[in-house]
Amino acid sequence: MRISSSALLVFSLSVPLATQAVAQDASPNKAKNVILLISDGAGINTWHAASYYRHGALGHEVYDDFDIKLFASTHPLNTSNVPTHSQDGAVTFDAEKIWGKDKSDSVFKGSLGNYPGYFSGYDYLRADYTDSAAAATALASGHKTYNNAINWSNDNQKLKHIGEYAVENGKALGVITSVQWSHATPAGFLAHNASRNDYAAIGKEIIESGLATVVMGSGHPFYDQNGQAIKPKNDKAYRYVGGKEEWDRLIAGKTAYKHIETKADFIALADGKLNMGNKSKLMGTVQNNATLQFNRDGVSAGNLLPNQPDLATMTKGALNLVAKNPNGFLLMVEGGAVDWAAHANNLPRLIEEQIDFNLAVEAVANWVEENSSWDETLVIVTTDHGNGLLQGPDSNTHAYSDIVNQGAGALPLVRWHTDTHTRELVPVYAKGPGADFLTNVAKPNPGLATYHVPEESQHFVDNTDIFRTVANAFGIATPQAK
């Protein structure tokens, strides 16, 4: 989809769908399990658009009933792509500047076209934004770092992530995503690398470390973006799965992992009927080299690829494996292609991907209520950053105007203001033991009233506080960089 942001995007009903260490508040054993769900690149209006399309109103998603509802800042340490070994270029963040309504005649040059500035607040949000690697590192390690880093510091040092802490404390680790399992967000909970783009090395580390009990995602070298079988052209086709040699070892059963790839096997795992043979760990690579669904041909929603599992099915399967650990688990679930749809300014598929994510959240909530309890399992639902600066159709004249609900099954009326990431304050929802840590560290920001949230939700934490919340909930003491 190639639409200039200067044009009103009105979709008709006919469109288908490390310097100073501090100790954690290490109250022991608050939570047995933590489940963190990340809708990649989902600003507040991504959540709203999906709810409008799905329910015709806000307030009907399972996370809307969570105890804690606030926001998070997401800026990186700096916007370099390599370690700088200095404070030069460090990003500063002033949440008050988000809401600036001074007229702006700037032009933001995006990949899809040029986006007029309109307001100073928009300009502020489109500057100095994080990438998914630095954001994943903040969420997983509690450290701000440079863009491009996977648990790697600006001083060129490896950073320990929450998955490692969880496993050290006897818990199982699970990581699943709707994009390649070596991509930035899943890699943040599994690996370390100075560059997110070193997929083969990241994939190899994920397999050879054996850290996780279960890993699932795409990146299959023998399938295209439409789930059609292909013959790999060269070794580059294996980059998302650790390289050809590592892939050959994986599918031959020569690693710690049982490998699955068919939709039937993902369903069997979700139903508790998959034969694991002599393996206790599982790697699932769906039959697609790109995403579960987003990268298929066309731009409209619907007509889903029939041979792909959905994120909810993968989530249920992952829970069946990690829950076998009597000491509990950490599970990260990513709706990764939400971000890809926002980069494309593709509203139908943005909503489609967000709904797929929301169904995974529902699967998690159902699992907690049927197999655990809200007294022993903490669930956090959030995003790593905004993308697209999606606003209402008249947001060129009225700053931060609401997107327009057209009822269930109809696309809301919107306007895009960029085709890349933003540093807007993004939603955080939490429920379960340790969730109140977020409210204890949150700072007020009355400007959030713009989103029509109650006063108690007009607060924000930093994305590094998500790491601290998880560690605190587990009762794990960690050195933490301010």
Binding residues for Mg(2+): 183, 185, 334
Name beta bridge partners: 218: 180
| DSSP label at residue 92 | P
Report the DSSP pairing between strands 426-431 and 33-39: unpaired
Answer yes or no: 132 catalytic: yes
Pick from 194, 168, 182, 324: nearest CA to 241: 182
Cα–Cα distance, 195 to 147 (Å, whole number)? 9
Number of C-beta neighbours around residue 93 at 10 A? 15
Say which amino acid occupies 49.
A
Cα–Cα distance, 346 to 296 (Å, whole number)? 13
The torsion angle over the Cα atoms of residues 121, 126, 128 and 130, rounded to 10 degrees, is 120
Cα–Cα distance, 464 to 455 (Å, whole number)? 23
Cα–Cα distance, 312 to 297 (Å, whole number)? 23
Question: Would you list which residues are annotated within the binding site for Zn(2+)?
Answer: 339, 343, 384-385
Cα–Cα distance, 348 to 368 (Å, whole number)? 31
Number of C-beta neighbours around residue 78 at 10 A? 21
Helix 311-322 and helix 347-371, axial crossing angle in degrees, nearest 10? 30
Identify the active-site residue in 39, 73, 120, 132: 132
Report the DSSP pairing between strands 377-382 and 33-39: parallel
3-state secondary structure of 121: helix
Question: Would you list which residues are annotated within the binding site?
Answer: 183, 185, 334, 339, 343, 384-385
Residue 153 near residue 143 (C-beta atoms within 8 A): yes
| Terminal Cα distance for the chain, rounded | 42
Pick from 463, 468, 481, 391: nearest CA to 93: 463
Strand boundaries in 156-235, DSSP class E: 172-180, 214-218
Pick from 285, 288, 308: nearest CA to 217: 285
3-state secondary structure of 380: strand
The sign of the dihedral angle between the CA atoms of 400, 404, 410, 416 is: negative
Place of tokens 């489940």: 35
Spacing of C-alpha 367 from chain mean position:
20
Catalytic residues: 132
